[in-house]
Amino acid sequence: MSDAQAPDFSKGCAYVRGQYVPIAQASIPITDLGFLHSDATYDVVTVWDGAFFRLDAHLERFARSCQRWRLAPGVDDAQITAILSECVRRSGLRASYVEMLCTRGQTPWGSRDPRQAVNQFYAFAVPFVWLANEQQRATGLHMRISHVQRIPAASVDPTTKNYHWNDMTMGLLDALDDGADTAVLVDDKDHVVEGPGFNVFCVHAGQLITPDQGMLEGITRRTVIEIAQSLGLQVQVRPVSTTEFRAADEAFISSSGGGVLPVTRVDGKNVADGAIGPVSRKLSDTYWAWHQSPAMSLPIAY
Ligand code: PLP
């Protein structure tokens, strides 16, 4: 194939039905229940400086999510690693957002029995996606505490990745309409739980506090807790009321989409003095420093 005909993977590469295709050409059948019923699971791992960060943890969570939702991706960890690496390699991206998905797939025509569906594995790598833009990272996010409750754990297990995101999207739309940058959802007891793509933390009198239930067990949340412990900070994993969150000395979100991202305003009011606090800064700096650890990163052979 001449260069003129070579597919352009520079904007991202997807793995679809056994083929690697440029991201703009990646599609799934419209009758895949992953699309029609949000009947799918997924995980997102990042590539920074040409290396996956904590891929093992993401693979382990993906396997757990698949098991929880009775989905069989038909590929093992080694095969997934090879597919994800190939998506990144073809794209040439050194900083990438890499997603693996398993959808329910299609049932035989006329069947309503999900057990008869043929589950599908998909993957893609695109340029790194930040949860906060450069200016928001510099000054901190403005968060709205949403009136929307996160879907209860008794209905959809939030500890495993799912696409039940209408609550998140409605909360986010309200927040943006109100001039905030993002939203955190609550539970039925007025505790903050999580937001669209992130976990939440606050700092009170030097102690780090993060919710213990009603949310995804984020890999970044786990990393932040490990960092805090390595720095000798006290960590409390327990319910966090909206009142406590508003009164925090510091607040931040954690996500693969940028690590530790400070929140400096909540519902139009400053968090403490409205500046990014020292604990958030230290945790963020250490989060990026940990990307250099060979134990946590897997370099990609481009
Ligand atoms: N909560 C939800 C609902 C998410 O979708 C995500 C990430 O996508 C997170 C929390 C943070 O998880 P992680 O740190 O593994 O990116």
Spacing, Cα 122 to ligand 1 middle (Å): 19
Query: Ligand 1 pocket test: which of 216, 223, 287 has the largest number of ligand atoms within 8 Å of its C-beta?
Result: 216
Domain boundary among 73, 95, 127: 127
Indicate the pTM of the whole model.
0.96
Query: Do 101 and 188 belong to one domain?
Result: no
CA angle, residues 129, 134, 140, in degrees to nearest 5: 105
Domain boundary among 71, 92, 127: 127
What confidence tier does 239 reach under pLDDT thresholds 50, 70, 90? very high
Residue 238: name the closest of 288, 204, 282, 272 by CA.
204
Contact (Cβ atoms closer than 8 angstroms) between residue 213 and residue 239? yes
Ligand 1 pocket, Cβ-based, cut-off 6 angstroms: 44, 194, 197-199, 215-216, 218-221, 254-256
Spacing, Cα 109 to ligand 1 middle (Å): 35
The domain containing residue 216 runs over which residues? Answer: 134-290
Spacing, Cα 14 to ligand 1 middle (Å): 21
Query: How many domains would you assign to the chain?
Result: 2
Least trusted range by pLDDT, from 1-15, 69-83, 243-257: 1-15
For range 248-259, the mean pLDDT: 98
Backbone φ and ψ for 22, nearest 5 degrees, come out as -55, 145
Spacing, Cα 68 to ligand 1 middle (Å): 17
Give the pLDDT of residue 5.
77
Spacing, Cα 275 to ligand 1 middle (Å): 25
The enclosing domain of 247 has a CATH number of 3.20.10.10
Give the pLDDT of residue 3.
55
Query: Ligand 1 pocket test: which of 198, 219, 253, 260 has the largest number of ligand atoms within 8 Å of its C-beta?
Result: 198
Query: Do 61 and 180 belong to one domain?
Result: no
Task: Confirm whether 4 is domain-assigned.
Answer: no
Give the pLDDT of residue 132.
97
Mean pLDDT score of the chain: 96
The enclosing domain of 64 has a CATH number of 3.30.470.10
Task: Confirm whether 139 is domain-assigned.
Answer: yes
Q: Which atom of ligand 1 is nearest to the CA of 199?
A: 10
The predicted-structure confidence for 89-144, as pLDDT tens digits, reads as follows: 999 999 999 999 999 999 999 999 999 999 999 999 999 999 999 999 999 999 99
Query: Do 210 and 111 belong to one domain?
Result: no
Task: Confirm whether 272 is domain-assigned.
Answer: yes
The predicted-structure confidence for 187-229, as pLDDT tens digits, reads as follows: 999 999 999 999 999 999 999 999 999 999 999 999 999 999 9
79-96 as b/e: b if 16+ CB within 10 A: ebbebbbbbbbbbebeeb
Task: Confirm whether 61 is domain-assigned.
Answer: yes
Sequence-ordered list of residues with C-beta below 8 angstroms from that of 246, at least 6 positions apart, any chain: 145, 266, 267, 269
Task: Confirm whether 84 is domain-assigned.
Answer: yes
